[in-house]
Structure 1
Amino acid sequence: LTSHRAPAGAPPSPPGGGHRPLNLGAQPGGAQPTGPLPPNVGLVIAVASGKGGVGKSTTAVNLAVGLGLEGLRVGLLDADVHGPSLPRMMGMDSQPEVRDGRLQPLHGHGITAMSIGMLVEETKAMIWRGPMVMGAIGQLLSDVDWGELDVLVVDMPPGTGDAQLTLAQKTALAGAVIVSTPQDIALLDARRGVAMFEKMRVPVLGIVENMSYFCCPNCNHRTELFGHGGARAEAEKTGVPFLGEIPLLADIRASGDNGAPIVISAPDSPAGKAYRTLAHTVGGALRRLLDKKQAK
């Protein structure tokens, strides 16, 4: 896994032993979403972000549980191998069983879930190289007994690297949801995320603006800490749907720490309603994809 031998037919290195110039325009070979779906899974979608710290995992968990509340059979796969947060956010602290050589995912809040964090200690660092991460994602897709699902939601690690390419190569992605905050520096990375999925021929279901605004719990004064409306403008600029705004609220943080997604613990709160609206919008798009797939 650590060999750096030149592949057969590779051009020789430049004189003096220097490196060949990077081909920044190269397309990821074979990254088209043509791989097989996990058995009995209708659709696979990714929740992604161009950078960390934008609330992608919180959005993925509440979206998946919200889709379950919309009547879909949902699985949630935590593919963020280096920083798995699904077990804490879903309140799952037991290890999955193995039956007939296949991992049995855990069930909670109306959905099925699996994470590498369920197999290792919470405080253990996952010091893995890229090939090990790619292998783990492949196994979580193929060696887990997901059962009958309408949609498998994959919480991707941040960025545009090995994990994203592996997922696109291992399975046929039906779409991707991009999570961003409103400020320009986050939108730059969100733009790269949209471009990455477009290069891999994966439809972008839309962009979510997380931490869109903050409402003071005492006086209800609204403050736009990171600006506002940037994700909507970026969605219009890139020609992808805008999926909605999620406020920055202490209740969202507390619900994740307590293992109860806010769409379950406080469905009538502003945050709960925002995530339910997001799930309703995405769920409608997924039902249309499922209907189209069944009609073929």
Structure 2
Amino acid sequence: MAHLAPHSSLAAALRDAVESLARAGVPDPQVDAELLAAHALATSRGAVQAAAIRGDALDGAVAAAFAELVERRAAREPLQHLTGRAPFRHLDLRVGPGVFVPRPETEMVAQLAVDALRAAASPAPIAVDLGTGSGAIALAMATEVPHARVFAAENSVDAFVWTKENFAEVGAENAELHFIDLEHAFAELDGTVSVVASNPPYVPDAAIPRDPEVRLYDPPAALYGGADGLDVVRVLSGVGLRLAHPGGMIVIEHGEWQGEQIRAILTADGWRAAATHVDLTQRDRATTALHP
């Protein structure tokens, strides 16, 4: 890969960066270039756009740092690993190697959980996020439904480092994080939970993700879910039945081709009213069901 030379002009540096990222196949080269420049300058993307229009110059050290970031992104290192942050709904989460980077499509999964939690009859409803990863869904529920109590489970040591940082940074007093396997999580809550949410690993073992950012950098334990991708979903169904109270909801994220299979699993286990919901791209993204 050709070395991206540092520029004294921010606008010129951005133009070169966009071209370099586009050649590397990065999906949104303009967005990524501006976000990397914002990171190098310790400012916002909007401020970068304004500075480029004004014709601002780049300090030599900042120009060199930006050029290095662009080269790493062109090598398909995830943008969020380079900036150390991932936006999720109203949150700005810390992420890096060892934790699954939250995706925009998971925001609608969190919305389903938040809506169900807000609709719960209890004045202090309980929610559980199983396999919380960065803490995205759990912290969204805790901050958006402040009268709820939220419990999050994670059993990856590498991910837990990031989860702890996010829980500490967000500081939601109604959220608890536990290092525990999801299959055995929260026996003390059996029969009391209004919402059981999860973004489990659901990629079939033989399906290799196309994007290098996913294939090379996301932790395999957060991606692969057995031969059909649904091993963890089967466990979640049973755990959800144990945790939820009658009428409580389970919310499971999945791949666009898995809705029918997951509805069948949940229905066979005794859940009722199983339904699959589409994301903003009109792809099946989550399935919900109600405790009998």
TM-score (norm 2): 0.35
Q: Which has the higher contact order (CA 8 A, sep 6+)?
A: 1
Higher Cα Rg: structure 1 or 2? 2
Greater helix proportion = 2
